Structure 1
Amino acid sequence: MDLCNIYTVDESKPRVQCISIEDSTIVDTGNLGEITRRRLPATVLQHYLPEWVVKAIRRAPKVFYVAPQAAVVPGLADAHAHVLEYGFMMQLPLATATSVEDVVARIKAYIVAHSDILDDRERWIEGMGWDQTKWPGAKFPTASDLDQDPLLSGRPISLNRVDGHAKWVSPRVLELMGELPDVVDGGNIVRDADGRPTGIFVDNAMALIPTPAWTEQRMSDYFDTTMWDALSHGLTSIHDAMSYPDQIRFFKRKADEGKLPNRLYLMGHLPSNDYWGDQIPHLLNYGKHERLTVKSVKLVTDGALGSWGAALLEPYSDKPETSGLMLTPPDELSTLVHQFWNDGFQVNIHCIGDRANHVVLDIFEDILHDHKANVTEWRPRIEHAQILTLEDLQRMGKLGVIASVQPTHATSDMTYAEFRLGPERIKGAYAYQTLLQVSPNHVLPLGSDFPVESINPLLGFYAAVSRLDTNGSSPHGNGGWFPHERLTRAQALKGMTLDAAYASFAENDLGSLTPGKKADFVVLDRDIMTVPFAEILETKVSATVVDGKVAYGAL
């Protein structure tokens, strides 16, 4: 029996033996006999055939053979990521650091490895990825921790927390900052018992830190790092979830030069509560290869759970003196959303806590119901949709608001989330299967939020379908954390292909291996739709194809 391990995410033909490609477009799908009759000598991607057929078909032009144990899926998309920030993090990655001492050791090694930094004590050192919840004591570090070693002492050091919602700075940076305000709207300067800054700045307070702006060369270096890693992991489309105007101009230049190796869907952003839509261009399939689109904006409502910044309706269970932070006042947020909607932008809003989600659903409901906006034309998104009341989970579905979620956030947070939220609130958190089922079109785009999480989309696939950590465990055992919220493999694959395409208005061109769509696909060395969970993590990308051309690996 012929194997059909090309997964199309096309309901009419979910699994096929071959796809036929002409130039950058899929022109046919089916079994070998069908395509041979209809399309030869068009390019044929063949999954498995008897040996005598393989020998015969190899004589035809542009024929590729895929091993029997392999699989082909549509080009994978990350519906929420940070392109340049990933490259930035990779210069000094701290995500696997196990303690303050480990972070210090990594910074020392970084300094020693870079002679220009070693010899210049005024040169800023920046890194990203630390997470105090994984360290002994699970407490925030302090500035003094970065001043104990002679090699670090006196240097300006700024380190982003893994979620990007807090920064840890050295005493030298505190000196450079001078006198600090007592209060920061939507932010927090963490202080000790005597009221002195400890060196931790949360959310809007991070803007006080005078880190140097990125140069064109730094952005180019970060971009190259990200693009290579993305393609090597099968990503053909990325939704960049916070593109500042200077970054949009950078991506636009790359598109003009034909140097975008995969597709970018940018969400414009400025950290201002005054309207800034006139600074964000509208671009559709822009550039030499038509791979750049800008038609959405990203707004931010609250902070993150890991730094107690997610805005909750009631105080934190493990820190009852706070209910989190609203980074944008609700009335100002409402004004911004209405203006962006009027100007034709899709509006995508960061919401972690149940209060943040509730406030944003109120704003969206006003526009969709009272102003009669067409939800299919507008496609508003909540980025993360992490903690909602049970009532708001249902309301989100009734409104047709898109939940853009990141499955690895659930498995990263599951060790502390219930302790932080309590047994009742956790029922509406990381509720991916529920969000999918209440969606009127059963749409749930999946992303990673890299560099907050791994750039590897198969890790997100694994987290979505297993609700386990990479060791195969969870607080609820090896059956997964709240296993009723797991996605099926078919749902997860659709979430990172066709649903992501829908969330970026590209479902007619991308997201499935359907005739007429772009020839973006990935060849995997094993079948992620059938192998045991643990083997998903061992899967490698053999080839990544964009517009019918190999961008990574080989066919």
Structure 2
Amino acid sequence: MSELRKRPGTGKFADTGSQNDRPSRSACVLPSTMYSFGFARLVILVLSLAASATWLLSSRERSPLSDSYAVCSRSGARVYTVDEAVPNVQCLVVDEFFIVDSGSLEDVKERWVARGRHRSSLQIRYLDESSIVVPGLSDAHAHILEYGANRQLPLQGAKSIQETVALVRQHILDNSDILDDPSKFIEGWGWDHTSWPVEEWPTSDALEADPIVNGRPVILQSKDGHALWISKTALELSSPLPSEVEGGVIVRDSFGTLTGVLLDNAQDLVKRPVPTERDLLRRFSTAVNDALACGLTSIHDAGLKPASLEFFKRQAVAGNLPVRIYGMRYFDENVPYWGNLSKPIINAGNGRLNARSVKIFADGALRTGGAALNEPYCDNPHAKGFMRIDPEVLTEVVPKYLRDGWQVVSATYQRRNDTPHFLVLGKNIHAIGDYANSIVLDTFESALKDVNVTALRPRLEHAQILTKIDMQRVGNLGVIASVQPTHAISDMWYAEDRLGPERVKYLYAFRSLLDHGSRLALGSDFPVEDMNPLAGFYAAVTRLSPEGESPQGPSGWFPEQRLTRMEALRGMTIDAAYASFTEDSLGSLVPGKRADYVVLSQDIMTVPANQILNTKVQATVIDGRPAFGQV
């Protein structure tokens, strides 16, 4: 066993080393104002941002854009269209919300005049010498409101139980409304016991040991979203708890005493306050500001519970969606089937909101040993993981949703502590382990008797580990693999210990999925991983940590599974658009499509790989107008 593999922390996105020889943590210039104001000032800021036509303009002095303009490079064809016929052009012409032309500067000027327009009516904006333009970037699997909640009390930096408790303590001391009210709930996100010196579950006793934290209702979500660590007060408020939970675990010590940790489905037993509209606005504003600063124009939200979906619908009606959202509706097996009673949401809010999928959780996570595998775990030969849902339920509901026109996304889902899950988006199934994925693919094949599965673009969320046969089935069925490249470089440090030297070869096998005919849609699963889409781009093309390391050396972790740069760019543009049924209007820079594009500070398609993460987002443009920065 190599030394690197024993250091799971090495794979984290740490800001170490100089800018000259190491990539920075993020290309995103994330706004800091959202986290330093008091609550009242924060709400005022959120409302003012919601009313603003352009959020977060950069400090560069530029005259306002006219309705018609061209973005051009002085140094060659530096606009990447992601169009196979004409992959690079010098200029992109925008008229109001749409791309109307592309090509060389002289050609677009001539065609502009030929359409009866005066030459001077076309405003020309030139890129910086090193800059490029790419289509608006998509994150094909993320959690918007959860990310916003995470940023209120982020716990990712803590390297031990004690450091995590210290962050909770400081959060209380920094917020007088919480400090003065011991009954107020405290919620945080991001602790990761696998990165601690001793890999152990935390306990409620650790929270009670701090005199400031003691006696308060505290609910702390793990980084991967599969575990809750709660205080004794929170346990009491959620009592009584059952002895067992199907598809989940209530962790107890050797004496049967509750430890304060609940896994997977058991998390639903914890009672917490319902977020207010102010809470949701604050979380939404935080996430959207960060997303725009990262160059994201479209986000696939992987699992909208009814309250979250209603919130997004309200924002769409109010014209307050600064990014495009593709929502995966939440599946609850305890409520009656609704696929024939509810219609998909298509192009609400001037095309900013779509929700035509359903998300179903099938199994648990790999790191916690919950992912459902065909064979036992190598480091726990008595366990194969578990399913979070009865396969018979899948067999019953998947064909129904498909017949009623909902997208079925079947996902192999592995977060940092993942267990296989079935997510249904439109109908999406979230699965992580090879056994769980096989069950999902069986369900798709069975549904073929009643409906054209491929036409409804089924998705396999995470698609983390599949057998050779199932990789072939993914391609044959036309299943989209919705994958998160940063998961691979996070999990590579422990994966072989968990799966063994042979089975690990089929984990995050992106190249194999492509070769078998699957289409890849790339995402991050934020807040589980870094929101920055260029972090995913870098991980996909290098399979290295940001420090240039992997358990197999500087060539990358299973380098034969790397993507080319164009494949990675397609995965976060046109292929992600295809996965959300929007490829006719988004995903590439060709005439007739919406003018969603991003200006980057350097050419990610040609710079040395170790410089990719030094790229900055100079502008994020949606419908032809800057949402971040300036053109």
Using structure 2 for the length normalisation, give the TM-score: 0.83
**Are residues 1:227 and 2:307 paired?**
no
Which residue of the other structure, out of 432, 436, 451, is the alignment partner of 1:352?
432
Query: Equivalent residue for 2:98?
Result: 25
Query: Equivalent residue for 2:442?
Result: 362
For residues 147-158 of structure 1, the aligned pairs below 5 Å read: 147-158=208-219
Query: Equivalent residue for 2:567?
Result: 491
Q: Tell which deviates more after alignment, 249-258 or 488-497.
A: 249-258
Query: Equivalent residue for 2:607?
Result: 531
Query: Equivalent residue for 2:555?
Result: 479
For residues 30-41 of structure 1, the aligned pairs below 5 Å read: 30-40=103-113
> Offset at 1:61?
4.0
List per-residue Cα deviations over 1:250-307 (Å, max 9, x = no partner).
Answer: 11111111111111111110433442436754211112x2211111111111122222
Which AA in structure 2 matches 1:453?
A: E
Query: Equivalent residue for 1:137?
Result: 198
> Offset at 1:60?
5.5
**Are residues 1:394 and 2:478 paired?**
no
**Are residues 1:11 and 2:73 paired?**
no
Q: Aligned partners of 2:259 and 2:399: how far apart in 1?
A: 39
Indicate conservation of the 8 Å contact 1:270/1:276, yes or no: no
Percent identical:
53
Q: Aligned partners of 2:155 and 2:340: how far apart in 1?
A: 37
Q: Aligned partners of 2:126 and 2:207: how far apart in 1?
A: 54
Which residue of the other structure, out of 479, 485, 488, is the alignment partner of 1:407?
485
Query: Equivalent residue for 2:458?
Result: 380
> Offset at 1:429?
0.8
Which residue of the other structure, out of 298, 308, 324, is the alignment partner of 1:247?
308
Q: Aligned partners of 1:257 and 1:156: how far apart in 2?
A: 35
Q: Aligned partners of 2:334 and 2:516: how far apart in 1?
A: 32
Q: 1:322 to 1:200 in 2, by over 3 A?
A: farther
Q: Aligned partners of 1:109 and 1:477: how far apart in 2?
A: 39
For residues 454-465 of structure 1, the aligned pairs below 5 Å read: 454-465=530-541
Q: Aligned partners of 2:298 and 2:113: how far apart in 1?
A: 30
Q: Aligned partners of 1:203 and 1:280: how far apart in 2?
A: 28
Indicate conservation of the 8 Å contact 1:243/1:266, yes or no: yes
- Unmatched runs of 5 consecutive residues or more in structure 2: 1-73, 409-427
For residues 496-515 of structure 1, the aligned pairs below 5 Å read: 496-515=572-591
Which AA in structure 2 matches 1:394?
A: Q
**CA RMSD of the aligned region, Å?**
1.7
> Offset at 1:40?
4.7
For residues 64-213 of structure 1, the aligned pairs below 5 Å read: 64-213=125-274
> Offset at 1:322?
2.5
Q: Aligned partners of 1:242 and 1:417: how far apart in 2?
A: 26
Q: Aligned partners of 1:324 and 1:305: how far apart in 2?
A: 8
Q: Aligned partners of 2:238 and 2:286: how far apart in 1?
A: 32
Query: Equivalent residue for 1:50?
Result: none
Q: Aligned partners of 1:436 and 1:498: how far apart in 2?
A: 15
Which AA in structure 1 matches 2:478?
A: G
Secondary structure, aligned partner of 1:552:
strand
Which residue of the other structure, out of 436, 447, 450, is the alignment partner of 2:523?
447
Which AA in structure 2 matches 1:410?
A: A
Query: Equivalent residue for 1:53?
Result: none
Aligned residues: 536
List per-residue Cα deviations over 1:18-77 (Å, max 9, x = no partner).
Answer: 0111111111111112111112599x9xxxxxxxxxxxx9x6542211012111100000
**Are residues 1:285 and 2:347 paired?**
yes
Q: Aligned partners of 1:2 and 1:176: how far apart in 2?
A: 64
Q: 1:40 to 1:254 in 2, by over 3 A?
A: farther
Which AA in structure 1 matches 2:566?
A: A
**Are residues 1:238 and 2:302 paired?**
no
Which residue of the other structure, out of 387, 390, 394, is the alignment partner of 1:326?
387
Indicate conservation of the 8 Å contact 2:447/2:453, yes or no: no
Query: Equivalent residue for 1:54?
Result: none
